[in-house]
Structure 1
Amino acid sequence: MGTVYLGRGRPGVTGYAGRLVAVKVIRPDLARVPEFRARFRREADIARRVARFCTAEVLDVVDPPGGLPYLVTEYIDGLTLAQSVAAEGPLRSADLERLAVSVAAALTSIHGAGLVHRDLKPSNVLLSSLGPRVIDFGIARALDAQTMLSQEIQRVGTPAFMAPEQANGEPVSAAADVFAWGGLVTYAGTGSFPFGDGPTPVQLYRVVHREPLLDGLDPALRPIVEEAMRKDPAARPTAQELFLRLVGMGPSTHPDPDVTRVIRSGAPMLAPPQRVGAEGNGSPPGAEPGVRPRPADPARPGTSPDHAADHAAGEAAQGGRGGPAARADLGAAGAWPPPADRDQTPPAAGPGHHARAVGDPERGGPDAGPAGVGAAGDLAAPSRRRGRWDRRRIALLAAPILAVLLIAALMPLALTTGGGQRPSREETAARVALAAEAVRNSDADLAARLSLAAYRISPVREARAALRTSFAAATASVLTGHTASALGVGISPNGRLLASAGADNLVQLWDISDRTHPVKLSTLNRHTSWVLDAAFSPDGRTLATVSYDRSAILWDISDPRHPAELAVILGHNGWVLDAAFSPDGRTLATSGYDNTARLWDVTDRRHPTALSVLDRHTSWVNEVAFSPDGHLLATASADRTARLWDITDPRRPRPLAAITAHTDYVWAVAFSPDGRRLATGAYDGTARIWDITDPSRPAATASFPADEKWVFDLAFSPDGRTLATAGWDTTVHLWDVSGTGRPASVGTISGHGDWIQALAWTPDGNGIATASDDYTVRISRIDDASLIAAACADPSKQIDDAEWQRHIADVPYQPVC
């Protein structure tokens, strides 16, 4: 309902002289309504009675006759809950319980003071160094009377956390805050909104008519959250009852004794009386305050500079992109904010852009505040943010220098011991491989020669990784049949056929028995829009293809030169994005843009029948995968989750778990060959590995950056020891997942000129097929023999005696080919 600024109280101002404070200026359209101004002042005064341990202390309330009303509150440095979950994933069990207790305590105090928050959400909970604080409560929006104004903005709030009565525009009570508490705890514990993503009308409908999605929430908290999110406001517990129930769960929440005493008393904790400046004449002088609006997407974390930073965007004035940034010194009489009849708010930065204070060390410029404004530094960036930026700037400036020093040091030092005990051949090979990686970007040919030399000294993991990175691209066979992006690729179980799917609406079948000379066998042109995937049945005699034309088609490919259409499967209310056969070949799973996955009985290939619809996702389902034993199905969705389903009875699939750690679209899922692990890849650039020995409680075992931007596909090797990932950076990355902990890189495969949309291993584990937006499919070899053959076919990639002596002194020269 306004714009938030960061300022510092001028010397001499009673109560907050010299302190960093947050200033919230009310919107002009609301300031023109006398009823609103009166209620704003009355309820702001009430807000001073709310216990300061649970929120931002109200320091001053100013309602100048010729200007916009504004509120001065304590500045709190810390990430919002939304930023924290986006950056680090859901809270751990004990942290989640502490958050639940703290917010319940805050609501109890707020309600005890006669206020209703009305917009409790993750961006309104600050995780300060002293514990969670609920901010932006019931001041500009605390409207109890059924008046014209309250009818107009009764539905103020965030759809994902609204109570049903709030979504319907009905009178709002403290019970709405309790409902929002349940949604907030769900988000904090799972990383997902309680009613999913989607347009506002869709979310409001779900709030009123659907039950919240609580999969993955801590079992100890789930019953309490279910009670808090009952549709009937009268059936929900009060905030005080929530608190008492939570502290009765056990010692893990460690409630503050003072907080507990206040809550049990049922009375609000009163802040001591304060005199904070003269009423009505505390307007800051005519400076243009700096604003930092909320990022447009809560999944893009950033440090919060003031206690309501995440609330500012969308409510901020229309100052536009890169608006001016200056100080706001508080406590002197003046005409700022501007008169309400100007119908504008002070300039602000555009959404997702940070306006900085003049004279801020981040800008590096001198103090340039207007005349009459306090001394430099009156508007300072938060110390945490400044320190973080200083460290980041130093790191960025130092990185090129460190890289040069690293290369200079590695060449003479990493390749030799310089005396002392002679290293083993394995140690020397690892150091030479490390040196190859260090020079790869500056001298690829030298890197290739060192990679081959390292492997010849000893085929240790590092040497094999360097060999793959240097020579895998040279082994590739390139399939060039598509006239638009290649979007999907599949390889038959016997390794003899490859199917590629493309944005040219075609599926192509290739004989890859001789991988150096693939032969195109046939083209399937039945689809009328982009074909996203092609999946082989376990016996290799049937192919399933899926398309943006909303269909899946089954093909008899017993004679791959003359494929025959068997059946068209319709049922998805939107694009069909992926398909997979069960290990026994009797069930087909498909996923679609209608937010569902579907199971089909394909025992009779000519007459498939629908078995069930899996509809717990709240955005499109991009990929499906069966476990090796066929009892589990994994789904990946743009709602930022992956889900595991028990499909032992495919007519009655049972949801087991929701995986909520990713912070952007989950694009890919894959089971390990032994069925004990699940890999997920997402638009957040990470791949994650989960122990699913107990599929109802997946346990994270590794999370690592797998692409510069987006992971589009991933797959385990047939022996389960290597994970391949691919996506935005046009490269396949190979990871050693044979051990525990963070996987080590074991090479990359380059060669494509655009994004890699899909990948598939050959059954022998010696090759990887990739489909790319550069219109091609490539089959690259990664077995040692093929890589050595490619290296030895190019004399420029073979190190000679003189170069060996120059770079490698620990091992006598030996011919590499």
Structure 2
Amino acid sequence: MDATSLGELRPDDPHQIGRYRIEAKIGEGGMGAVYLGRDPEERPVAVKVVRAELAGDKTFLARFHDEAANAQRVASFCTAQVLEHGEDLGLAYMVTEYIDGPSLLKHVSDKGALSPGMLHGVAVGVAAALVAIHSSGLVHRDLKPSNVLLSISGPRVIDFGIARALDMASAHTRTGQVVGTPGWIAPEQITTQQVTPAVDVFAWGCLVAFAASGRNPFGQGSFQIMAARAVHADPEIGDLPPSLSGLVQAALRKDPAQRPSARDLLLALVGGTGEATVTNELGETWTSPPGGDPGVTSRDVSGAAPAPPPPEPTRPAPEPPRPVPELPPEPRTRPAVERHTVPPTEREVLPPLPPARGGGTSRRTTFLASAAAGLLVAGIVAGAVYLANRPSGDARNTGAESAAFPTAPMLVRIDTAGGWPTSCSADIGLFKPADKSVKTLVSGPSCDILPERSPDGKRIAFSRRGDTTGQAWVMNADGSGAEKVTGILRGTRVTWSPDGTRLAYMDEKQGVRQLFAITLQGHAVTQLTNDDSVKDDPMWSSTGKLVFWSKRDGGDEQLYTMDPDRPGGTWTRLTKDGVRAVDPEWSPDGSKIAFVRGPATGSAIWVMNADGSGAHAVTSGGGRDMDPAWSPDGRWLAYVRGPVADPVIHAVRANGAGDRVVTPAGRVFGHPNW
């Protein structure tokens, strides 16, 4: 890095943040200032320090640290790794890997549109970064050319995991404003709809179109003009290569549900031509910023390439990069931090080295650089394909990105009068999202709630809530043959054993909530727990485990599993961060658990693996998201959003994409069970 591009520290700048010595100022952005620092081993890092007014906002700080912790889980495929976050001197900070190289914005501004090979490399690299980010449950929200750095090891995406915190601050301090950059934010961000990974796919389309032409697909203008074009106008994507044109057009669709996922983009980019073809093509054409690329030419409006530039001085070939590690990423021997987004005037490139003997570019140097780039792209492709095709056992990639919306009907609670949950008049019904039709299965003056379909689909269990007591009932799938099974704790749910012969439920014994199981034939009861903790929400998996929440270890509700065939046996704690976790729901194959995480007034739907690993959000939260339910194929989740008395059922892909309202206006449904 050229030291002359860094700003000197001012008297009010910190000289030490946490364990990092601050050497210079890199720049400033919407969050605060960014500094070049050194860790105790003298390795360079970038330290991002939050603005003082934001540091005093408790809501922002909580979200900032939560999102920074999530960002630390992101695999370092084409991203800048988040290393640490904390607070010091009354300031919040985040430390990230230092990436030396010009931004895509500066490179295109200085040198013009990218060559076809380098353009494909940027498209692949940024798509791979988005797969890594989305697989960790994050959405970038502010992807743009200044947040993509062209390092010697390829394109690297920076500044992920903080825009959501800024969005939260905006909601509290800058009502009506949108966090994002005109020309790169999706229509749903402008119209303040739910933010999903699809907003990053839209930004990817804008970014690739810009890299190919040097122009934003929605032109130039004020925020209002750019926003109106993004919402209403068709993008101008220019003369893109055939391998990218269709993907960019799909990424820029107005409806987020109609856009491909990052995984779809990646598989199309690296799978359509074959890994060997992509590797060879990019290995020959990828540049090695920040030293410039004599092969990149800018195109005029007619599409003709200008005369070749004069030869550049010879530079030593870069060393081949390390292979991309599998998750979790192995510790780097020299952790460094990305360069933060700063104005082009503050981002300089390294000066060229003196020319080699003879004054021309060495063929050997060109060959070595090309070979190193080929190894780089092979690593990117291999790592990206690994992320895109990760086994379904990893909750961060469910394979659901391209799943069509299910046609299966869902069981629901139908509120026949207002007042829930203080008073209750509710039936059990069958709702078909495809045609919005509703069929009541059991009706009457009673309060019937929490329907659960049996494993074979032939029966339905539900809870009947009385004024002071509760009952577990079972009926046939068509609503006939309803009969009471046993008394249960008022307002709690029942759950089926994998073979459909037993129900698990909550009841009280000597004033303490305990888990029980009952056989449907003979009604033999087994007490499963005998401790004194508060607990609820049992759910039986297809593999035979019970999951439930308990306050056994103090604090808020946490999720545990146990073997119901070993009553009183050992529990396994799944959630360990102390944040409230309730309403667990097993996926159909028993490999994942969806659950509600966060305070009751600001909860979100999360998904984790059966062992508690890989936990990540699939809804944005900020309101009240609850009652998750898996689709029969395990690729979608239904859930309830909004006030308890006036809920709305949504559905979302298991990767967080394609969120949509399912139930029609004017009808109040709850407790979905797909």
Q: Which has the larger radius of gyration?
A: 1
TM over 0.5, shorter chain: no
Task: Report the TM-score when normalising by structure 1.
Answer: 0.32
Higher relative helix content: 1
